[in-house]
Structure 1
Amino acid sequence: MSRTTDGTRDRERTRSAVLEAAERLLGERGTRVSVAEIAADAGVSKSGLLHHFPSKDELLLAVAEHGLETFKDEVMRHVDLAENRAGKVLRAYVRTLCGGSERAMAVFSPTAMWTGLTAVPGVEPVIAADATYWRETFARDGLPEDRSLVVRHAAEGLAAATSMQPYLDDRELAVARTALLALAEPTD
C-alpha cells in the first residue's frame, strides 16, 4: 500500500494505481477482467480496491472519467501559448494524437476497453459531457467549424490507425500530422 512519509495512507496514489491498472487490463481483456485481477495488478488488496470503488461499475465509471480527463490534460499540455492565432487548441489536439502522446493515442485505438465502458451505468452522460466540452472548446478556438471537424476527426482516426500496423507507419503518420497541422492554421 502506498504510504506518505508520516505513515498515513496515500489515498490518491492508491486510487491512481488502481485506475491505471484497470485501464491497462481493460485495454487488454475488456470488461471481463475481474476486480481481483485489477487489485492484484495495482498492488492492493481486493478490499482496498473496494474501499475506493465500492463496485465494479463505479470503478469502470471512474476509469472512463479518468481517461477523458487525462486526455484533456494531455491536449492542453500541447497548446503552444506563443501561437497567437486561431486554431491553437486544434493544433494541440493534432500534436497530441499524432505522435505527441502515446497514452492519448492509445485512448483512440480500437480496444475492448471503450466498447465495454459505454455499457456501464453512468458512463453515457460522462461521454456526452466530454463531447460537449470539445465542441465548445473548438467553437471558441476560432477556426471554421467544417475545417475543425475534419481535422479533429482525422487526427482521431490516425491515432486509432497507429495500432493497425502495417497500415500506417511512422513516416506516414508524420506526413499526415504535417498536413493536418497546416489545415489547422487560419487562412485569413
Structure 2
Amino acid sequence: MAEPRQTRNTERTRRAILDAAQQVILEKGAAVTLAQVASVAGVSKSGLIHHFGNRDQLVVAVVEDVHDQFRESVLSHLDLSENYPGKMLRAYVRVLCAESTDAVAARDFTSAPMWSGLYAIPAVAAVMSGQSAWWSEQFTLDGLSTERVLIVRRAAEGVAAAGVYGEEGEAGIAAARRLLLELTTEGTFHTPV
C-alpha cells in the first residue's frame, strides 16, 4: 500500500516543480536557476534534481508541459458540432482570445520575449519545432486554405500577446475574437482583385 502513496507524492512534487518553474521563467526569463525554482516549489534543490537532473531538463519539461496544457485547452474548446472546415483553428482562436482570464496561461505562453532565451537550449528548440509542425498539420487537416490559416493563426497569437502586455483590453480582444472566428468560415475572407 505504500507504493501508491509514494507515486501520488512523486506526481504532486513533480507538478509543484513544473508549476513553480513556469512561474519563475515567466518572471525571470532564461536567467532561471534551480535554486529559485526549488524555493518557489517548496522543495530542496536536491529534491528538484531528483526529479529533473539539471536546469536544461527542467526547462525542457516545462516547455513540454506548457505545450501539453495549451493543446488540451484547445482540444477542450473544439466544437465537434461544427460540420464545416476550420474547427481546430476556431478552437485555437477561442483559447488565445478568450474573453476571461481562462486563457492567461495561453497568453503567457504566446509571449515569445518571455520565453525567447530558452530557445538557445537545443532540446527546447526541438520541442518548439515539433509543436509547430503538429499545429501546422492539424490546421492543414482542418480544411481551410494555408493563407487563411496563416492570417488567423498569427493574428490570434498577436492578440493574445497584446493582452499579456496590457496593450489590448477585454473589449478589443472580444472584437478581435469575433472577427477571427468569422474569418475561419468559408466565404468571409475575400482576396482583393
Q: Give 1:155's aligned residue.
A: 156
Q: What is the Cα deviation at residue 109 of structure 1?
A: 2.3
Q: What is the Cα deviation at residue 86 of structure 1?
A: 0.7
Identity of aligned residues (%): 43
Cα distance change, pair 32–148 in 1 and its aligned pair in 2 (3 A): same
Matches within 5 A, 1:52-67: 52-67=51-66
- Tell me how many residue pairs correspond in the alignment: 184
Q: Give 1:102's aligned residue.
A: 104
Deviates more, 1:138-147 or 1:93-102: 93-102
Amino acid across the alignment from 1:187 = G
Q: What is the alpha-carbon distance in structure 2 between the residues aligned to residue 28 and residue 49 of structure 1?
A: 19
Q: What is the Cα deviation at residue 134 of structure 1?
A: 0.7
TM-score using structure 2 length:
0.89
Matches within 5 A, 1:87-98: 87-98=86-97
Q: What is the alpha-carbon distance in structure 1 between the residues aligned to residue 62 and residue 174 of structure 2?
A: 30
Amino acid across the alignment from 1:158 = V
Q: Give 1:72's aligned residue.
A: 71
> Contact 1:27–1:111 (CA<8 Å) still a contact in 2?
no
Q: Give 1:43's aligned residue.
A: 42
RMSD, aligned CA: 1.9
Cα distance change, pair 9–163 in 1 and its aligned pair in 2 (3 A): closer
TM-score using structure 1 length:
0.91
The SS at the match of 1:101 is helix
Q: What is the Cα deviation at residue 144 of structure 1?
A: 1.1
Q: What is the Cα deviation at residue 18 of structure 1?
A: 0.5
Q: What is the Cα deviation at residue 9 of structure 1?
A: 5.3
Cα distance change, pair 111–24 in 1 and its aligned pair in 2 (3 A): farther
Q: What is the Cα deviation at residue 186 of structure 1?
A: 2.4
The SS at the match of 1:20 is helix
Q: What is the alpha-carbon distance in structure 2 between the residues aligned to residue 115 and residue 41 of structure 1?
A: 22
Q: What is the Cα deviation at residue 6 of structure 1?
A: 4.0
Q: What is the alpha-carbon distance in structure 1 between the residues aligned to residue 131 and residue 185 of structure 2?
A: 24
Cα distance change, pair 7–93 in 1 and its aligned pair in 2 (3 A): closer
Asked if residue 119 in structure 1 is aligned to residue 128 in structure 2, the reply is: no
Deviates more, 1:3-12 or 1:72-81: 3-12
Q: What is the alpha-carbon distance in structure 2 between the residues aligned to residue 6 and residue 143 of structure 1?
A: 48
Amino acid across the alignment from 1:103 = A
Q: What is the alpha-carbon distance in structure 2 between the residues aligned to residue 168 and residue 23 of structure 1?
A: 24
Q: Residues 29-53 of structure 1, C-alpha deviation per residue, up to 9 Å, x if partnerless? A: 1122221110111111111100010
Q: Give 2:17's aligned residue.
A: 18
Gaps of 5+ in 1: none
Q: What is the Cα deviation at residue 187 of structure 1?
A: 2.8
Asked if residue 175 in structure 1 is aligned to residue 162 in structure 2, the reply is: no
Q: What is the alpha-carbon distance in structure 2 between the residues aligned to residue 20 and residue 5 of structure 1?
A: 22
> Contact 1:57–1:121 (CA<8 Å) still a contact in 2?
no
Q: What is the alpha-carbon distance in structure 1 between the residues aligned to residue 112 and residue 150 of structure 2?
A: 20
Gaps of 5+ in 2: 189-193
